[in-house]
Structures are given as C-alpha cells and as structure tokens.
Chain A
Amino acid sequence: MLELKNISALTPETSAQKSILHDISCRFEAGHITAIVGPNGAGKTTLLRAAAGLVPLSAGSIHLEGCDWKDPKTRARHLAYMPQFQNIAWPLLCRDVVALGLLPHGFRDDGLVAAALARCEATQFSDRSIDTLSGGEQSRVFMARLLVANAPLLLLDEPTQSLDAAGAMGLMHLLRGAADEGAGVGVVMHDLNLAQAFCDHVLVLQNGVVRAKGAPRDVFTPSQLAPIFGVEFDVMAVGDARYLMPTL
C-alpha cells in the first residue's frame, strides 16, 4: 500500500541541521494496523508526518500503490491524517467538521457525514458546536472526520493519548474495523499493550532509526525493549493475553 524506501529527514532549522530520521524503510499494508512506537524524541511523529507528505525528505522515496504519492491532490484522496493535537480555529458544528474530511473529493454528502458520525457513535453531537464537547467526545467527531471519505490509508498520531480506557479501546476498535474493511492504518502509540492487542505490525524507533519491526509478539520482548526504552519490562500472562509491565 504505502512504502517508505530508505527515507531520511532533517530538522527544519537552516543552521546546524540534525538528522531526525535516518534511512528508514517500512510499509503500511492494506488491511493491517501498523503501530509506530518508541521513546519520546525517537522520530515517531516525524515518520508519520513524512508518510503524510508533511516533511521534506533529505533522502529516500515514498510510493503509494497505484498512484502518484508526490501529487498533493492525489495524496489527499488516498490518505487521511490526524495530528497529535487537533485544534479547531472556530466553534464549527460537528457535522461541518466531519464534512471537511470530504474536501479532497470536492463534494459534500450529508449521508456520508451522518454515517461516519453514527459509526463513531457521535450522531447526537451532529448539530452541536465542537467546542461544547468534552475531549473524548471531540475525539469521536475527529475520528468521524478521518473516516468519512473511506480513505484507503489512515495515519494517526497518538490518537489515544488523552482518552480514558473505554475511549481508547473504542477508538482502537474503530481502527480495527477500518483495517478489516481493507484500509491500511499507521498509528503512533505509547501504550504497548494496546498496540499488541490491536496491531498487526509494530515498528520500534529510537533516535530516528528503526530498531525492530515485525509482529508485536516477536518484537515486544523484554530483552529487545529494555535498551530502547531505558527501563526493564516484566511480562504478565493472563489467559491467552500477555501484558508488558515496566518494572517498578
């Protein structure tokens, strides 16, 4: 679906540029959720932004299956992106916020907007102003904006960070549903347990370099994670599930 080949990126400053991403190759496959994890400052957000076309590459290339990734209009029709902090300049009505997701397609379809809101259990907010909602409620509306155009690739930056357990689970279920319908999903996460419960692939970054990638069960081992995160991990098994706990 989306393939990043040997990409590198530099900090935007004109003087003393530092490398933020170095020679990274990875794929976001259709039907799969790929989690990007790593300690703070590892380059996770930059990698996601690069995949969305928001960061100029100093080396490497990005290919989107079947179309020209370099063309902003084409890219906009094929991917939907949600930043880490989504703020809205004006107190728009929620249905108008969701409809913005259809802009790349040049039409407004109230049926699609209503369906997206319903899918995110946010129908009751349709006619309300976005600034009257709580953080969790807003996140459901933003998810509806992300999903409304049925983009084949969804990129999200720490979407669960300010959500409670139920909210985070609900959001991951939505992403799982989108992936099961064929979308490719790339998501930056800090919660390793949520990542291994919902994701098909993980990509572990440290200092702008890929340290490990593969299925969560293979990558998330205490011996691999400890040097990357700087803490020891214990593994707890409950039934079939296993949980990673930082050693206190």
Chain B
Amino acid sequence: MLLAALMSIASISLLIGDVATSPSALVAYLSGEGSEFHIILFETIRAPRIVLAAMTGFVLGLSGAAIQGFLRNPLAEPGILGASNGAALGAVIAIYLGLASTVSYWVPLASAVMALVSVAALMAVAGQGASSLRLILAGFAVSAFAGAGIALALNLSPNYFAALEIAFWLLGAVENRSWLHVHMALPGAVLGCLLMASTARSLNALALGEEVAQTLGLAMRNLRARIAVGLALAIGAVVSVTGVIGFVGLVAPHLVRPYCGHMPSRSLLPSALLGAILLVLADTAVRSIPTGTELKLGVLTAFFGVPLLLLLLRRPGALMSDA
C-alpha cells in the first residue's frame, strides 16, 4: 500500500513545479510522444530530484528504524552515531578546498570517506564490545567533533561566497540534482540498506535486551558492525549528494510502528517507504511554495518534522513503552 502511495505521489509530483504541467503531457511523455520540452522537464529536471528525494527518504526511514531498534531507543535518529555530520564535514572540506566546482565527484567521495572515517573513529573511541550507551555517547562526541570541523571551515572560509555555498549545502536539498547524483549515491545506499536490512531478526531479539538477545544466539559484535557500517555507507551516500536532512529518520519509524505491532523487523520496510513518501511530498511542497529563493528541503522537513514529533509526543504510549 505504501509502495503504491509512493508511486502515485511521485507521479503527481512530476506534474508540480514552477512550470505548470498537465497530466496529458505526462501521459504523452510516457507513451513516447511528448514534446522535447517535456522530455527535458520530466527526464532531466524533475525525475532525478524525485528519485533522489525518494532514495534519500528511503535511506533515512530505514536507517531511523534500524538505529532505533538497535539502540532500543525511540529518540535515536540516523545521525546519532556521527555518520551524518561526518559526511557533511567531508563535503564541506571538499567545498572549502574549492574542489566542488571542478570535479563534482569530489563532494560525494569526500562525504562517503568521512562518514566511514567517523564511524571507524566511533568504533575506536567506544572500543570493542562497547555497550549501546557508550556507543551513543561516543557518537555524540564524534558528531560534535565533525560539527566543530564544519564550524571551523565556515570560520576560515576564504570568502563570503564559499561560506554561503557551505551554509546552503548544509541545509539539505535535492534541487538541481541530476541522474549523475543518483548514480553516485546509489551503490552506497543499496549496500548500506542491505546491511541494515540483514539485521532485522537480530533487532527483534534485542527488544528483550542485550543479555537475553545474546542467549538467543545474537552476536552483538557482528550486529554492531553491520549497523555501523551500513549506516555509514547509506547515510554517507545520501548526505553526500543532498546535504543533511533531518527529522525524516526520526519521525518515519514512529509513524509506522503502531501498525507493525512495534516489532523492529516489521518496521524497517514500511518506515523506509514512508520516509520516501515524506521526502517526495516535502520536495513537491518545496517546488510549489512560491518563495523568492526556493526553500531548502532540510528546512521544510525540520519545520514540519518538529510539530509532527510534538504531536506524537502527546499521544500516550506512542514513543516509549511503559514496560
């Protein structure tokens, strides 16, 4: 059902934007009889950003559900282990060094490398066999350090435009993205998602606590590694082309969980699909809201995400088990 909703919303989203388009133009394009203008509009402008928004939302929704299941904590979000800020720092360094304008591959490459470096640093700081609590605290430290690096880059940026470019990039967006960006993010996103999806059964066992899960045959070290590397790959991949987009990864799992009996394994795919829907909707809204400068996607998700989260908080038992 969520998949059908995503497809319909994505199709409708193709019609919405600065240039008004009729459904008949889309039908004509799909049947191979569209005008050149519409081919360019759909194929090179709107479709890539919609696909990228859907992919980013999918990754954020899946990562959110996986990390919440892993940490047994409904307040966890995909960036909690420092991958988001690490990836952002990588991109910022690339932009700062002026690499962004010459070879567009540099930003995603630097992001992905830094996401992996930040997770490796996290593992080193937390130590082998670290508890979830230790992992969260170490994640905060790594995240804060990457944040400090971003602040430093902004502080030392050679000129006003470089600082502005960094600041805008950090807001998170899918505008002006091409199929190239989709291709760049796809391998990391797929591999990361597969790694996280492979933990489904283990996440169920973890619902009973680490100790009981271990007596059920769960290898914590292996699980921790799969989650951390999967998260770094997937988040690193999408952050590298879209910037940091918040709240989707936090909210999507909460919205689907009551319909999945709260089982972590059953929440993964619905949360991913809902994340994709939310982000495609948000991107459509960004294109439709008439503002002088197009709103950044990250700004909109935060604006809508916060009230949504507060609404969820008001629902008794929605966030935390009283058990």
List residues of A whose CB falls within 8 A of some B CB: 49, 52-54, 72-73, 75-77, 79-83, 86-93, 96-97, 100-101, 103-104, 129-131, 138, 145
B212 x A83 contact (CB < 8 A): yes
Dominant SS at the B interface?
loop
Q: Give the nearest-CB partner of A92 in chain B.
A: B262
Do A86 and B257 contact each other (CB < 8 Å), given the known contacts A53-B214, A104-B216? no
**Chain A residues with CB below 8 A from B211, complex form:** 49, 54, 81, 83
B134 within 8 A of A: no
Do A87 and B209 contact each other (CB < 8 Å), given the known contacts A103-B204, A131-B321? yes
Docked pose: A76 CA to B220 CA in angstroms = 14
B322 within 8 A of A: yes
**Chain B residues with CB below 8 A from A52, complex form:** 215
Docked pose: A229 CA to B90 CA in angstroms = 61
**Chain B residues with CB below 8 A from A86, complex form:** 208-209, 212
B215 x A88 contact (CB < 8 A): no
List residues of B whose CB falls within 8 A of some A CB: 72-73, 201, 204-209, 211-212, 214-219, 257, 261-264, 317, 321-323
Q: Give the nearest-CB partner of B262 in chain A.
A: A90
A sample of 8 inter-chain contacts (CB < 8 A) reads A76-B217, A83-B211, A83-B212, A89-B72, A90-B72, A91-B317, A91-B322, A101-B216
- For the complex of A and B, the 9 pairs showing the least CB-CB separation, nearest first, are A76-B217, A89-B72, A131-B323, A81-B215, A90-B262, A91-B321, A104-B217, A131-B322, A88-B323
**Chain B residues with CB below 8 A from A77, complex form:** 217
Docked pose: A59 CA to B209 CA in angstroms = 27
**Chain A residues with CB below 8 A from B262, complex form:** 90-93, 129
Specify which of A83, A89, A91, A101 lies most central, judged by the most chain B CB atoms within 10 Å of its CB: A89
A131 x B209 contact (CB < 8 A): no
Q: Give the nearest-CB partner of A89 in chain B.
A: B72
Do A89 and B217 contact each other (CB < 8 Å), given the known contacts A96-B261, A103-B201? no
Q: Give the nearest-CB partner of B217 in chain A.
A: A76
B207 x A88 contact (CB < 8 A): yes
Docked pose: A52 CA to B212 CA in angstroms = 10
A121 CB, min distance to chain B CBs, angstroms:
20
**Chain B residues with CB below 8 A from A88, complex form:** 207-209, 321, 323
B215 x A53 contact (CB < 8 A): yes
**Chain A residues with CB below 8 A from B317, complex form:** 91, 131
**Chain B residues with CB below 8 A from A81, complex form:** 211-212, 215
B198 CB, min distance to chain A CBs, angstroms:
15
A89 x B207 contact (CB < 8 A): yes
Docked pose: A93 CA to B262 CA in angstroms = 8
**Chain B residues with CB below 8 A from A93, complex form:** 261-262
Given A100-B208, A130-B321, output 9 extra A-B contacts at Cβ < 8 Å: A75-B217, A81-B212, A81-B215, A83-B209, A89-B321, A92-B262, A93-B261, A93-B262, A131-B321
